[in-house]
Amino acid sequence: MVKKNNRKELDPLTKAQVLSQALPYMRQYSEKIIVIKYGGHAMVNEHLASIFATDVVLLKQVGIHPIIVHGGGPQIGDALKKKNIKSTFINGLRVTDKATVKIVEKVLCKDINKEITNSIRAAGGQAIGLSGKEKNIIKARKLRISISNRKGSESKNFDLGFVGKPSNINRRFLKKLISSNKIPVIAPIGLDENQDTYNINADTAAGAIASALGATRFLLLTDVAGVIGPKGNLVENIKSSAAKKLISKGTITGGMIPKIQTCLDAVKGNVEASVILDGRVPHAILLELFTEHGVGTLIS
C-alpha cells in the first residue's frame, strides 16, 4: 500500500516564481560568508533541525559559505543533573569548574556537534564537525566580570572558573575549509595560552568568528521574533545607536541585552549586519536572506 504524502505541494508555476524572486538575493550573497549561531528550540525540535540542515546545504549549493556555531545549554544542564552537579549562573553565564568543563566539552563536542554534523551530511552537505580547540580555531582567555550594585556606587568581581572569551580566531584555517566546499560546524570551546580548556558562550564565539572573517551576515537564531519595540511591534531594522537607546530606556531587557551587545560588537568588528531572528520559524534563514523584508531584526 502506498502512503499518501499529506504535505501540501506548490504548483510548478508557483515554485518557479519563488525561485525567480529569490535569484537576486542569491546573487547578492554569492561567495559571501554567513555565520549562523544555532541553538534554542530550533536545535532540539527534530522537524526544525531537519529543515535547518537542508537550508544550510541549500546555502552552500547556491555559492554561499555558511559557518555554524552551536550552543547546548539545556543539554549541558541535563548532563550535569545526572552527575548531581548543581548549575550556578551569574549574568546568564554558567560557573564552570574543572569537573564541569569536562562535561560541557563532552556534551558540546561529542554529542551535539556530531548530531548537527550528521544531520547536514544526511541532507547532502559536506559538514565537518570541529571543537574550537582544534587548530586553535578559538584561542581563549579567562572571562572576568564585574557587576555594579543598583546605585552604581560599588562593584563586585566574580570568578566564573573556566569560562572564557575569544582572544583570537584562526581565520586562515576556516577560510581554507570553506574554500574546499566544507561546512564548518563549531563547538564553542577554546584553549588559552596555558592549554587550559574554556567554555565560551556560543553567541559570543559566533560573533567573534563573524567579525574575524568579515562575514556579510551574522545570524543569531533565538526563541523570540527579534527586537520588540515600545509598542510591542517587531523592529525590522535598527542602527547601533538606536539599539543602545532602547537598552538605556529599558525597552530591551533581560537576556536580549547580551544578544544585542554581541550583534553590536560584530557590526563594530567588521560584519556588514547582524540579524536576530526566530529559529522556531521553519526556513527562518532562507526567509531572512532571500526575501525583501526578512523575518528578524537587522542591526547595522
Tens digit of each residue's pLDDT (9 = 90 or more) over 151-186: 555 567 788 899 999 999 999 999 999 999 999 999
Tell how strand 197-200 and strand 189-191 pair up. antiparallel
Are 22 and 290 contacting, i.e. CB atoms less than 8 angstroms apart? yes
Share of the chain above pLDDT 70, in %: 94
Domain range list for the chain: 30-224+233-299
Q: What is the pLDDT of residues 41-56, one digit of tens each?
A: 788 889 999 999 999 9
pLDDT of residue 2: 41
pLDDT of residue 115: 96
Residue 94 identity: R
pLDDT of residue 245: 84
pLDDT at 199 over 90: yes
Candidates 176, 68, 58; CA nearest to 117 is 68
Sign for the pseudo-dihedral over CA of 78, 91, 270, 200: negative
Share of the chain above pLDDT 90, in %: 60
Is the pTM higher than 0.75? The answer reads yes
pLDDT of residue 1: 40
55 grid coordinates: 537550508
pLDDT at 272 over 90: yes
Please report which helix (H) or strand (E) contains residue 271, including its range: none
pLDDT at 284 over 70: yes
> Torsion over CA of 281, 285, 290 and 294, rounded to 10 degrees?
60
pLDDT of residue 105: 96
Q: Which CATH code of 3.30.465.10, 3.40.1160.10, 3.40.50.150, 3.90.1300.10 fits the domain covering 30-224+233-299?
A: 3.40.1160.10
Q: What is the pLDDT of residues 7-18, one digit of tens each?
A: 556 678 777 887
Candidates 158, 166, 172, 155; CA nearest to 188 is 166
Rg over CA atoms, the chain: 20
pLDDT at 73 over 70: yes
pLDDT at 150 over 70: no
Please report which helix (H) or strand (E) contains residue 118, including its range: helix 113-122
pLDDT of residue 200: 95
Over range 185-203, report the average pLDDT. Answer: 95
pLDDT at 3 over 70: no
Q: Mean pLDDT over all residues of the chain? A: 89
pLDDT at 77 over 50: yes
Residues 6+ apart with CB under 8 A from 5: none
Residues β-bridged to residue 70: 38
Of 59-68, 92-101, 258-267, highest mean pLDDT: 59-68
